[in-house]
Amino acid sequence: MKKILSIMLALVLIFSAFSIASSAVEIENPLKFKNGEFKIMHICDCQDGFPAIDTMLKFIDAALKEYQPDIVVLGGDNTVGPEDTKAKAIEELCKVFVDNKTYFTLVFGNHDREQGVENDQLLPMYQIYGKGYCLAYDEVPSLHGTATHNLPVMSSDGKKIKFNLWMFDSGSHYIDENGNDLGIYDCVREDQIEWYQAKSKALETLAGGKVPSLAFQHIVVGEVYEALFHESLVDLDVVTPKANGKIYSFFPKTENIQDGFLFEFPCPSEKNHGQFDAMVNGGDVLAVFSGHDHLNSYTTELDGVKIINTPGATYNSYGNDIVRGVRMITVKEDNTWDFETEVVTISQFALDNKDFAEDAGIDTFTAGLMLALGDILLALNNLTKGFSSIISLIFA
């Protein structure tokens, strides 16, 4: 019976996919600058099943109406929950974007596929329930993972490629060439890096020069530890995190946190195949954005490329109301080699939009306390920057 149902679902997906393909022909790259700007909303770790907690859905809906992004990037761990309600969870999340007529794309996280449905089965569901607004696709199915792709952004007149968005599947658990699960987080692999390098050169040829871009993936690059932590002389187990084959101290380089919070140790893969170095050498990636670490909202920089974490939007998994929210990114058409970004927290949004707070059941007094606590923690962080700089000189 289960096999029959699977066949029926497959037929429905195929039929719907043809419908989407035929309707998508009418859309010639909908992404372009408008009024001199291109706006991206990065939503990470929704990480809920069906039905999702209403507060998160109402916040996303209200934020879409308020900020009107040109595209949303779902940053992985987009839906979880039992296999039999997985499709409903995806449909419910997609409905928010469809109702707001907002284009969206996505990367997968380590939890998306853990409920018995693989990512290559999940992607068609987003494409179907996205009803033409889902721009995610799997450009080279033979690559590691699912839905590694790019989306060029055109000039306001639609005549020139002005910008580009990279989407990388950073995987789930690291499976080696022998099929062994190493019990560590995965990362972007060599074939994906080679795809990026070839695609970047092709875009450069089409555009007549390097195309500035932003990269998105779920699991943060390992180089975040080079940017934010000192190497440690001793191994103190969980107190001294490990990445890039090195051991790092528990005290961060707070002087390198340009903005936001570092509330938990970043969790990259212990493996590293050179993705970040390839982007640095490529000279076209301004920043790489990740989710995965729900409590982190920092911006840091290494070798000219920013490493940025977007906090979780979820109410189903762990988080806190100091950072819980979404990230807005704005690129100006007259200077595409720079961008502006900020985290829009649910707490701040509730204080600024009392009708939303009431509808979503958010207590504005508590929201105010969370923001005040955040300000205190930022002030304390600033006080440590001098001390951290001295430590950096000692370790240098």
The domains of the chain are located at 37-395
Give residue-wise pLDDT tens across range 71-90: 999 999 999 989 999 999 99
106-115, 228-237, 342-351: range with lowest mean pLDDT? 228-237
290 or 13: whose pLDDT is higher? Answer: 290
What is the predicted pLDDT for the residue at 322? Answer: 97
In percent, how much of the chain has pLDDT > 70? 91
What is the predicted pLDDT for the residue at 202? Answer: 97
What is the predicted pLDDT for the residue at 392? Answer: 62
Q: What does the buried/exposed string (b/e) look like for 260-272 if buried means 16 or more CB atoms within 10 Å of the residue's CB?
A: bbbbebbbbbebb
Burial class (CB in 10 A: 0-12, 13-18, 19+), 256: buried
Give residue-wise pLDDT tens across range 12-49: 333 333 333 333 333 357 999 999 999 999 999 999 99
Q: Could you tell me the fold of the domain covering 37-395?
A: Purple Acid Phosphatase; chain A, domain 2 (3.60.21)
In percent, how much of the chain has pLDDT > 90? 80
Q: Please count the CA atoms within 13 angstroms of the CA of 197 that sit on its side-chain side.
A: 13
What is the predicted pLDDT for the residue at 385? Answer: 81
Query: Rounded to whole angstroms, how far apart are CA atoms 127 and 148?
Result: 15
170 or 1: whose pLDDT is higher? Answer: 170
The mean predicted confidence, pLDDT, of the chain is 91
Beta-carbon contacts of residue 373 (< 8 Å; ≥ 6 apart): 322
Give residue-wise pLDDT tens across range 361-375: 999 999 999 999 999
Beta-carbon contacts of residue 349 (< 8 Å; ≥ 6 apart): 59, 62, 63, 66, 325, 356
